[in-house]
Amino acid sequence: MPMTSEQLELLRNLAKATQLRYLDAVEQWERNWRIARGSNKVMPVLAGRMGLVDYMAAAQILDDQPAYEAAATTILSHASELASLFKPLPEVLLVELSLAIICKQRSARRAVAKAVSAAKLDDNAVLYERSQALMLAALVDLDHDLARKLAGQLLQACAARQFDKATTEQAEQWAVATSKLADRDLEGCATALAALQALHFKRIERELSRLKRGASSALMACDLVDLPGNALRVLLSESGYNAQQVGAAQVWEMPSTSTVVV
């Protein structure tokens, strides 16, 4: 269901405030990278990336194409280096992998997908964002058997109530969408993605209602943009499903990302 003009205005106000807060996000992240290389510690990069992703999401909401492309290009230009130099956990690379898929940067997405798949895990914990990263990497690698296996593990975790209610609902639809895509059931994947999108909008609307009442909310611009879901939509369209049938990824017009250069 489309959002009301009042809700969209709240979103835009949040985005405008975010852009003002992180006007120097690109420059700050480059400075953080120099610190990270010198100290051989990843935290300066991850700390700066939070603001940069928030800035990028705000630009998307406001349809500020230059700002969006500057942020996306900056993130993707360091994606391979982040993966190879610091070897972070799969969930840490979910942003880079999703964005590389969305922006159709095949070299970056192959490199990040390879790093995600090769990550050494100290435990067998099934975490939602980790599962998303591992499944996207499996789909990029065309390892459909692994994608189905990971989807099954995520569904088992949901059945075992390892997540809260909201995360469980999202994880179930994500697992179904991924397994359907691996099975080449494109219609089934699109249906699951539509359900996932509805859950995403439901959460946003709930937080907007809090803001409208004057209550506090932890809603950030980056929460408004479902990067992993958008990445899965791109993979679905690449599998031959009519892009117009996939549905709008957001309630606002998504700017073209194919022009991002790294």
pLDDT in tens, 107-135: 999 999 999 999 988 888 899 999 999 99
> Given a cut of 60, is residue 19 above it in pLDDT?
yes
> Across the chain, what does the average pLDDT equal?
89
Name the phi and psi angles at 182, rounded to 5. -65, -30
Q: Residue written as tokens 């949040």?
A: 14
pLDDT in tens, 135-178: 999 999 999 999 999 999 999 999 999 999 999 999 999 999 99
Q: Is 195 exposed, middle or buried (0-12, 13-18, 19+ CB in 10 A)?
A: middle
- Encoding tokens for residue 63? 């349809």
Three-state DSSP at 92 gives helix
pTM > 0.75: yes
pLDDT in tens, 174-231: 999 999 999 999 999 999 999 999 999 898 988 888 888 878 888 899 999 999 999 9
Give me the pLDDT at residue 256, please: 40
Give me the pLDDT at residue 262, please: 40
- Encoding tokens for residue 77? 């230009």
